Structure 1
Amino acid sequence: MATPEFIRHLRTSIGRQLLWLPGVSAVVFDDQGRVLLGKRADTGGWSVIGGIPEPGEQPAETAIREVYEETAVRVAVEGVVLIETMPPTHYPNGDVCQFMDVTLRCRAIGGEARVNDDESLEVGWFDVDALPELEEYALTRIKRAQEAGPTWFHKMGEEPEGQQP
């Protein structure tokens, strides 16, 4: 995930200390029920599409923008899948961030999946029973998005989904 300019500006004032940030993940399905994934340039791993909202941007707008920027696929947002605060992430440069993730279920409405920026090495559609290797948090979001049930909220005292204590 590329670091937005407003965060680089904040870092000049706050240094490497913990920065609390919103994040938006988009679990995108096509008409065949396949899920759209991107192979991230920063980690080399496959994941659902996501990013950081620009100041003042709504989560649904972020999902629509990020999916298009990274994959050239147009989406419609169908609903909120889950909202969860993730454990802090420590980056190699010393920065520390903690994200509150809003995961949205989306439906592809146009475009052709392709690498559309420098954040992805590959993008593609995958049958949910033939996914590439994914981290547990991505699998959890896909599973919950398939269920299309009520929004999932983290309960006090529970470990975050897909995270080990």
Structure 2
Amino acid sequence: MPIPEFIRDLRSHVGHQPLWLTGVSAVVLDADGRILLTQRVDTREWAVVSGVLEPGEEPARAIVREITEETGISADVQRLTSVDVTPMITYPNGDQTQYLDVCFLARHVDGDPHPADDENTAVEWFAVDALPHELADTSRLRIEKALRDEPTAWFRR
């Protein structure tokens, strides 16, 4: 899985110690209301498209970039749906990271989804009532909040 250069630089100083990073994610819907999910290489779980915000990058632009990089499709961001904090994650190499995640609702514009990088083994559309059992808990939360169709973003109080 590619590690952004700025994180590689940070890791050279802090080793496997916990890093606090900003993540972006999206619940991407097609014209039929199906949700685009990726099956992650590292955990084998299905998840919404997500990634790391690069230094100085705008969150909405970052998630559009991640959608294209991971799935090969183009999408249009509709609105902010939630802001949450992930539990501490320990990756197979021992790196520890916790994310502040900014999640968006996006609509498919063009392209056929496929694993477009080495982060995912599969990319598929799923009906809302037929989501895979191996869906990441963080993705369940993001889907639930995005589908509420409320004008304001969800966050913990």
5+ residue gaps, structure 1:
156-165
Identity of aligned residues (%): 45
Aligned to 1:139: 140
Give the secondary structure class of the aligned counterpart of 1:142.
helix
Aligned residues: 155
AA matched with 2:103: T
The TM-score normalised by the length of structure 1 is 0.89
Aligned to 2:104: 104
AA matched with 1:147: R
In the TM superposition, 1:49-68 aligns within 5 A as 49-68=49-68
5+ residue gaps, structure 2:
none
CA offset digits 1:49-102 (Å, max 9, x no partner): 000011111111111011101111101101111111222222333322110001
Most deviating of 35-44 and 130-139: 130-139
AA matched with 1:52: V
CA distance in 1: counterparts of 2:118 and 2:89, whole angstroms: 22
| Residue 146 of structure 1: how far off its partner (Å) | 1.0
RMSD: 1.2
Give the secondary structure class of the aligned counterpart of 2:100.
strand
Give the secondary structure class of the aligned counterpart of 1:152.
coil
Give the secondary structure class of the aligned counterpart of 2:147.
helix
CA distance in 2: counterparts of 1:90 and 1:116, whole angstroms: 25
In the TM superposition, 1:19-58 aligns within 5 A as 19-58=19-58
CA distance in 2: counterparts of 1:88 and 1:50, whole angstroms: 16
AA matched with 1:135: A
Aligned to 1:74: 74
AA matched with 2:76: A
